[in-house]
Amino acid sequence: MIAALTAYEGLLLRRDRRAWRALWCLAALVLIAFAVNLGQVIDANAAKREVAAAERARWLGQGEKDPHSAAHYSIFAFKPTPLLAALDPGVEPFVGQTVWLEAHVQNDLLYRPQGEASALQRAGLTSPAGLLIGLAPLIAFLLAFTAVAMDRERGTLRLALGAALRPRTIVIAKGLAIWSILSLVLVVPVTLAATVALWVVVGWDADALLRLALWATAMSAYLGLLSALGVAASLLAGSVRGALALLFGLWILLALALPRWASSAVEQARPLPATQSVKQQLQDEAPAYWTAEQAQQRRAELLARYGADRAEALPVNLRGAELDLSERHSHAAFDRVLGNFYDRVEAQDQAFAAVGLLSPSAAMQTLSPWLAGSDFHHHRRFVDGAEHYRRELVNRMNREVMRQPNGDSAKPGGDARLWAQIPEFVHRSPSLIQAGGAAGWALWALAVWVALACWALARAARRLRP
């Protein structure tokens, strides 16, 4: 019964050319945005692999030199962009894509795509997820207006309710029809396109396929709650004009105003320190070079540690031991200062996800990039992985310096055999099961909105009178 009514309501909706054309225009924009983003992701990853291979060849072929000098020249580490970022780029356009791994310093990431973009490119920044989250509510509400308010104005809704044994079934069928149309036209095509892209580019990656399936499910749930809200609002409005004003107001409030207000509110409630203050704190706590007084104090600590009365009696090279001590001291400072900064950024994300209780669009703006692997939590995993690799490399080079006899500076100490012992840097993004972040809050918020939309639809249906 419901299936037949849903199919019939879908047929009636297709007769409204204005809403139908708007729906197909949005579907075309979603696919175009995905194709453009996919091409950019593939090209960027190919360029990163090419330069990373050149960097590896340079490292292996650098010839004989002091190991600590090699740690300073070091290499660039490149962050691979997840293919599903074509659905939702998340923070990818705004964060660095490569980092210079050198001794003493945890450098900032370089090359932010959005920072290198032209004004026209910045104005046109969009994605399938952004289009769906921002514009799909408008299309859903237009379809709901057509299915309910216009039928009420023409009098056909009254006739249908009077002839129906269960009037609420008609309301449910209208909501299901709108949801089915939105999902089939907006979500299914781009999901199929992403599936084909995954198969062609990376093969059958189980984690990527799971992420894609959950992204499509979450986006369909989002469209479903919008459909229910649209039908409920149209039923509760007293007139056609009232319904139109209410639906447009809901779109502006839920999809445009509240997410932007939430972003500003979170920034004010949980402000981040200025970049310059963070760099200054790092310089104060982990300077690249010691003062003469600090160097004398550290040397005394090393002599006491090894039970030696002079540098020549040390079982390790004094210079190498000092470099190793300085490096390990900076590690603790980096973890404390930068770790605290990154924790505050993630706290902002979690606060914004919690604000998703006020707007389903805000919840999807957190959940979508998390599923695509392009949110800040995934970016931080790359930063931490690159920093771990840097520390292993620098510590290995310093150990090689420590092996040299004191006072022997004629031998470089590093050659091709040593360089080959350093493994190539490879970043593996965490699986969906391993990934944390703000997804929990966003999932709860989306579930609350689904329940709220179903309750609103049921309440509106109970108040119906033929």
Tell me the two tokens of residue 21.
């054309």
- Percent of the chain residues past pLDDT 90, beyond the cut: 44
Angle, alpha carbons 10-14-16 (nearest 5°): 125
Task: Tell which residue, 336, 425, 424, has the closest CA to residue 386.
Answer: 425
pLDDT at residue 251 in the model: 93
pLDDT at residue 438 in the model: 67
| Average model confidence (pLDDT) across the chain | 84
pLDDT at residue 41 in the model: 94
pTM of the full predicted structure? 0.89
**Using one digit for the tens of pLDDT, what is the confidence trace for 298-316?**
777 777 777 777 766 677 7
**Using one digit for the tens of pLDDT, what is the confidence trace for 74-83?**
899 999 999 9
pLDDT at residue 302 in the model: 75
Segment among 36-40, 226-230, 322-326, 351-355 with least mean pLDDT: 322-326
pLDDT at residue 283 in the model: 83
Task: Tell which residue, 229, 214, 29, has the closest CA to residue 131.
Answer: 29
pLDDT at residue 163 in the model: 45
pLDDT at residue 89 in the model: 93
**Using one digit for the tens of pLDDT, what is the confidence trace for 331-347?**
888 989 999 999 999 99
Please compute the mean of the pLDDT values over residues 99-116 and round it to a whole number.
85
- Percent of the chain residues past pLDDT 70, beyond the cut: 84
Residue 208, judged by CB atoms within 10 A of its CB (0-12, 13-18, 19+), counts as buried
Within 8 A by CB and 6+ apart from 371, the residues are 84, 88, 211, 214, 215, 218, 432, 439
Q: Cα–Cα distance between 446 and 357 in angstroms, integer?
A: 8
**Using one digit for the tens of pLDDT, what is the confidence trace for 58-74?**
999 988 888 888 888 88
Please compute the mean of the pLDDT values over residues 91-118 and round it to a whole number.
84
Residue 240: pLDDT band (50, 70, 90) is: confident
**Using one digit for the tens of pLDDT, what is the confidence trace for 286-299?**
776 666 677 677 77
Q: Cα–Cα distance between 59 and 70 in angstroms, integer?
A: 8
pLDDT at residue 331 in the model: 87
Give Cα 433 distance to the centre of its chain. Answer: 15
pLDDT at residue 314 in the model: 73
C-alpha torsion angle, residues 383, 385, 390, 395 (rounded to 10): 140
pLDDT at residue 164 in the model: 47
pLDDT at residue 183 in the model: 94
Give Cα 375 distance to the centre of its chain. Answer: 2
Q: Cα–Cα distance between 11 and 51 in angstroms, integer?
A: 54
Q: Residue 173 is inside which H or E element, if any?
A: helix 167-182
Q: Cα–Cα distance between 258 and 356 in angstroms, integer?
A: 9
pLDDT at residue 153 in the model: 52
pLDDT at 132 over 70: yes
pLDDT at residue 159 in the model: 45
Q: Which residues pair with 65 in a beta bridge?
A: 414
Please compute the mean of the pLDDT values over residues 233-262 and round it to a whole number.
86
Q: Cα–Cα distance between 446 and 218 in angstroms, integer?
A: 8
Tell me the two tokens of residue 239.
């007139």
Each domain of the chain, given as residue ranges in start order, spans 2-462
Q: Which residue has the higher pLDDT, 281 or 219?
A: 219
**Using one digit for the tens of pLDDT, what is the confidence trace for 139-192?**
999 888 887 765 555 545 544 454 444 556 777 778 888 999 999 999 999 999
Q: Which residues pair with 98 in a beta bridge?
A: 78, 110
pLDDT at residue 300 in the model: 77
Residue owning tokens 């089915």: 180
Q: Which residue has the higher pLDDT, 416 or 198?
A: 198
pLDDT at residue 149 in the model: 60
Please compute the mean of the pLDDT values over residues 119-135 and round it to a whole number.
77
Tell me the two tokens of residue 441.
């809050």
pLDDT at residue 33 in the model: 93
**Using one digit for the tens of pLDDT, what is the confidence trace for 28-41?**
999 999 999 999 99
pLDDT at 355 over 50: yes
**Using one digit for the tens of pLDDT, what is the confidence trace for 358-407?**
999 999 999 999 999 999 999 999 999 999 999 999 999 988 888 877 65
